[in-house]
Amino acid sequence: MESYLTKSLIPILLAGSCLLSTYSQSVTSVENSRAIEFPDIPGYVSLKCDLHMHTVFSDGSLWPDIRVREALMDGLDAICITDHLEYQPKRKDLPHPDRNRGYELALESAKGTALMVIPGAEITRSMPTGHFNAIFVKDANRLNQEDALEVFREARNQGALVFWNHPHWTSQKPDGVAELTEMHLTLLEEELFAGIEIYNDETYSDEALEIAREHQLFLMGNSDVHGPIDWSYDVSKGEHRPVTLVFATEKSIPAMQKAMEERRTAVWFENTLVGDAEYLVPLVEQSLELSRTGEGPIARVDIYNHSDADYILENLSAYTFHNQPGIFILKAHQKTPVWVKTRETLDSFDLRFRVLNAFTAPDTHPEIKLVVE
């Protein structure tokens, strides 16, 4: 026979269990709702990466395990802890001769998750060199040396990839215009860096994009976050950290590095995509799912947008629409009906659009084609 105590505890335990379950579902829901989502494209997986961030091991304010937790909440596939090699403002409180320590702690924290943690460091020099990130390094300690050129050569010896950070940073370029100096030309001549940030934190550079196009550099967009990520981006208002999309043959660190070496990257920030048409066009097209209902001279086409981008489309088709103007928005994760005035019943037809919030060059937008069956 059950005791009075047992009978009394059962409802309390059940209530507590339900409350814990509800809380757990609520947390999961919040995390899922903030996860950055883009589809894979034919032949490649679309990896969402933030490869420039700081911890207490340089001038950041958080321990590396928090960076891992934030990345998991944002649905990222890869991060890189890029603490400054030379700039160590916390050395009195947190002396650490091992420049690999932040990476090691983040890697340990990410065990058992799908998050890839990339080893890296930020080369922190005044102009005319500036700041660069070396990622996929073997030993960051060996990069901590006086001669700037030797640092880059050591990164190359380790098989690392190096990209130029915020070349438009007003602390080093007061006019905000990214420009190559003689030092940068030397680095390019020796093939000592291969990428460039066109977006950093909340700043963008058309000039950096032009430099990338001229010198065949891979594109980067990163948060460069120092404090909590939610202090910089208000998720409740739909804001998100900038990310670099890496189009790799599989989700692995070697495949990711190879993709970057082959310039298979794009940048996603605010509500904007920047990259080569070769990757942006399939990315947008794979984001959209079409279904047709009804027949006749006006065909209803429902377009479901599976991505996080609100695509701003300009109609380039041979048809006008019965319920949309020539420029309209496909909201993220929503279905948008488009009534196409075909004027006769067609078995199939094409819809063509220019994607106005995507750029392949400072003034150039990619164009997509959607086939309606």
Q: What is the DSSP letter of 217?
A: P
Residue 20: pLDDT above 60?
no
Dump pLDDT digits (tens) for 327-352.
999 999 999 999 999 999 889 999 99
Predicted local confidence at residue 36, as pLDDT: 97
d(CA 123, CA 99): 12
Q: Which of 24-28, 264-268, 300-304 has the least mean pLDDT?
A: 24-28
Cβ contact 273:359 at 8 Å: yes
Q: How confident is the model at residue 180 (pLDDT cuts 50, 70, 90)?
A: very high
Predicted local confidence at residue 319, as pLDDT: 95
**Segment 294-307 mean pLDDT:** 92
Q: How confident is the model at residue 275 (pLDDT cuts 50, 70, 90)?
A: very high
Q: How confident is the model at residue 1 (pLDDT cuts 50, 70, 90)?
A: very low
Q: How confident is the model at residue 27 (pLDDT cuts 50, 70, 90)?
A: very low
Rg (CA), the chain: 24
Dump pLDDT digits (tens) for 73-105.
999 999 999 999 999 888 888 888 899 999 999
Closest to 11 in 3D by CA, of 22, 19, 1 = 19
Angle, vertex CA 11, rays to CA 7 and CA 16, nearest 5: 140
Predicted local confidence at residue 2, as pLDDT: 39
Predicted local confidence at residue 94, as pLDDT: 86
**Segment 346-359 mean pLDDT:** 96
- Dihedral-angle region of residue 216 (phi above 0 means left; psi in -120 to 50 means alpha; beta otherwise): left
**Segment 178-194 mean pLDDT:** 97
d(CA 186, CA 61): 35
Task: Tell me the percentage of the chain whose pLDDT exceeds 90.
Answer: 85
Strands (DSSP E) contained in the chain are 45-53, 78-81, 116-124, 131-135, 161-164, 195-200, 203-204, 218-222, 243-248, 265-269, 272-275, 288-293, 298-305, 311-315, 327-330, 335-341, 349-355, 358-359, 367-372
Dump pLDDT digits (tens) for 36-56.
999 999 999 999 999 999 999
**Segment 207-224 mean pLDDT:** 98
Q: How confident is the model at residue 122 (pLDDT cuts 50, 70, 90)?
A: very high
Q: Average per-residue pLDDT in the chain?
A: 91
d(CA 59, CA 341): 58
User: Does the model's pTM come out above 0.85?
Assistant: yes
